[in-house]
Amino acid sequence: MLPRAEFVHWWFAGGFVMLALLAAAELVVGPDVWAMRAWRRYLWPGLMFLMGVLLWPVMTFYTNSTIHMIAHGSWAQVLMLAGGAELGLAAGKLHSQWWRLTSALAMVVSGAALILHEQQHWLFSRAAFLHHAMGWWLIAGAVFPLLRSFRPRSVVAASGWAVVFAVVAVMLFADRDTAEIFGHLSQYAGVPHR
Amino acid sequence: MSADYAHDSQQHVIERSETRSLRARVVLALGPATMLTGIAWAVIQPYRLTILHPHAQGFWWLLSEPPLYVVLAGIVFRLVVAPSLARDVDAAAR
């Protein structure tokens, strides 16, 4: 009765669309206008924290293997850490900009977990391809929150931050449990479906 | 209370009649653009919407309608985030 893994990926993709929209809006108006209303400051950190919390049931119910459990558990932890740190900054409880490094850490850990827990090669199936692609994308994308820690008002960092979320959303929406990628699908992957 | 409401309502009308800044327009356009993206996706890949062929589909398949998630995100952003953000960016610009 559990939902398929692809359904869970699509739900999280919806969350990433929302994160991308919020990041894009903050980029358009600038951090000062964005911070004019207190509730708005909590929006994307709160959503990120919530996504971290929601990864715990994913870890619990989709434990196909130890490496899956470690991957999902580490995502949950680093997303909650990053979301919590940004919430602390938004609330004024934390003051150091270095807390923003937790977002870069979250992306590097998530990317590494994606790559490490995908045991098949790139062209095994679409899901395998997307796990590899998302992993490397997140590791490369970590440069934007890293840059944001040093230069909080950088337009490049804010733009990259929004683009990273948008691309992750597209990749998660494209994920299917069993589907071909560039015409390749391993005979061991199972029966494809639309 | 009614006087306050009338004042707020009048203020709202005045604000709407004023010319919006480019940034405010972009903010207000983000939600509809996202909705259009979701609709375009549904047109290009209608099989991603199980609600269009619901017979013999289980609960999770009927709940999982990815193009509608994109539309929903656009609606939420447009209704919850964009209005006050557009007002604030205009106010900051004055």
- Summarised one tens digit per residue, pLDDT across range B69-84 is 999 999 999 999 999 9
Residues in chain B with CB shorter than 8 Å from the CB of A36 are: 88, 92
Kindly state whether A62 is in contact with chain B, defined as any CB-CB distance less than 8 angstroms.
no
Burial class from Cβ neighbours inside 10 Å (0-12, 13-18, 19+) for residue A131 reads buried
Residue B4 has pLDDT above 70, yes or no: no
The answer to whether A164 touches A141, Cβ cutoff 8 Å, is yes
**Closest Cα partner for B61 from A15, A188, A193, A60?**
A193
Say whether A18 and B66 touch across the interface (CB within 8 A): no
Q: Determine the pLDDT at residue A193.
A: 67
Residue B29 has pLDDT above 70, yes or no: yes
Max avg pLDDT among A99-108, A171-180, B11-20: A99-108
Q: Determine the pLDDT at residue B12.
A: 54
Residue of B nearest to A25 (CA): B27
Kindly state whether A188 is in contact with chain B, defined as any CB-CB distance less than 8 angstroms.
no
Residue of B nearest to A28 (CA): B23
Residue in A3, A21, A173 nearest the CB of B30: A21
Q: Lowest-confidence range among A108-122, B5-19, B45-59, B76-90?
A: B5-19
Which tokens go with B10? 């009048």
Kindly state whether A37 is in contact with chain B, defined as any CB-CB distance less than 8 angstroms.
yes
Residue A179 has pLDDT above 80, yes or no: yes
Bigger pLDDT: A78 or A67? A78
Which tokens go with A27? 């980029």
Band the pLDDT of B16: cuts 50, 70, 90.
low
Q: Hey, where are the domains in chain B?
A: 20-93
Which residue type sits at B75?
A: I
Provide the Cα torsion B23, B28, B33, B38; round to 10°.
140
SS3 A63: coil
**Tens digits of residue pLDDT in A80-89:** 999 999 999 9
Kindly state whether A95 is in contact with chain B, defined as any CB-CB distance less than 8 angstroms.
no
Å between A17 CA and nearest CA of chain B: 7
Say whether A4 and B72 touch across the interface (CB within 8 A): no
Q: Determine the pLDDT at residue B1.
A: 44
Say whether B69 and A11 touch across the interface (CB within 8 A): yes
Provide the Cα torsion A157, A90, A99, A166; round to 10°.
-40
Candidates B22, B69, B84: best to mutate against A (most CBs of A within 10 A) is B69
Q: Which ipTM did the prediction report?
A: 0.91
Residue in A7, A13, A33 nearest the CB of B92: A33
Residue of A nearest to B30 (CA): A21
